[in-house]
Amino acid sequence: MNEENDRHGASTDKLHRAYHAKDSRETAEVYDDWAAEYEQHMKNAGYTHPAVVASMVTRHVAPTDEPVLDAGAGTGVLGEILSALGYANLSGLDASTGMLKIAGLKSNYRDLSHQFLGQPLSFDDDCFALVASSGVFTQGHAPLDGLDELIRVTLPGGHLVFSLARTYLDGPFDDKRRQLEKAGLWRFVDASERYNAAPLEDNLIAQVFVFQVL
């Protein structure tokens, strides 16, 4: 029983280490250390972000051969789902080289790059029809300012679909959302109901948002 509890508590421990990292590079180190066990740990937690993000993608963006960015690809769980649903032209980025190595083994991406959300990205302006991000905009991970660069690299008329959790969900995101709306950079399209992203181990309340780039 103790071994079972230890195994099922592993994802919670790693998540909390990531949430309390002092910066994105420390967060990346946590995920580098976690990469080999990440998917099994998150299955144990009943992790729902990728499925909900993918569902919101399919609600608003038909399967396409146009370029799609998985922003914060991790080990490629969201990419696997999107690829299976017919989004065939996937690129991915992540701050963790360990996670990217595993994502690269799955052959769902045309390219993967080591980049940090919240810093300038290497992509040209207006080069993705869709940007999807699962489990990234949350405490200790990507800052909300990372949305600015994701808007920059998205085609006008394209969509951003991303999850928000923890301290970002109320207050900080409301301010950022209004700032970007006032600047004429995006418009609200849809949002999921709130859900628990790790229902078997934690109370990680989250929500997925859809915006269209203007």
Q: What pLDDT score does 27 carry?
A: 73
Q: Tell me the three state secondary structure of residue 77.
A: helix
pLDDT of residue 11: 54
Question: Rounded distance, CA 122 to CA 148, Å?
Answer: 14
pLDDT band at 24 (very low <50, low <70, confident <90, very high): low
Note the pLDDT of residue 162: 98
Q: Which domain holds residue 66?
A: 2-213
Long-range contacts of 55-58 (CB under 8 A, 24+ apart): 55/192, 56/161, 56/190, 56/192, 56/208, 56/210, 57/82, 57/85, 57/87, 57/130, 57/132, 57/159, 57/161, 58/85
pLDDT tens readout for residues 156-184? 999 999 999 978 998 899 999 999 999 99
Share of the chain above pLDDT 90, in %: 71
DSSP summary character for residue 136:
E
Whole-angstrom distance, CA of residue 194 vs CA of residue 94 = 25
Say which CATH number the domain at 131 has: 3.40.50.150
Structural domains of the chain, count: 1
pLDDT at position 40 over 90: no
- Please report which confidence band the pLDDT of residue 151 belongs to, taking 50, 70 and 90 as the band edges: very high
pLDDT tens digit sequence for 78-126: 999 999 999 999 999 999 999 999 999 999 999 999 999 999 999 999 9
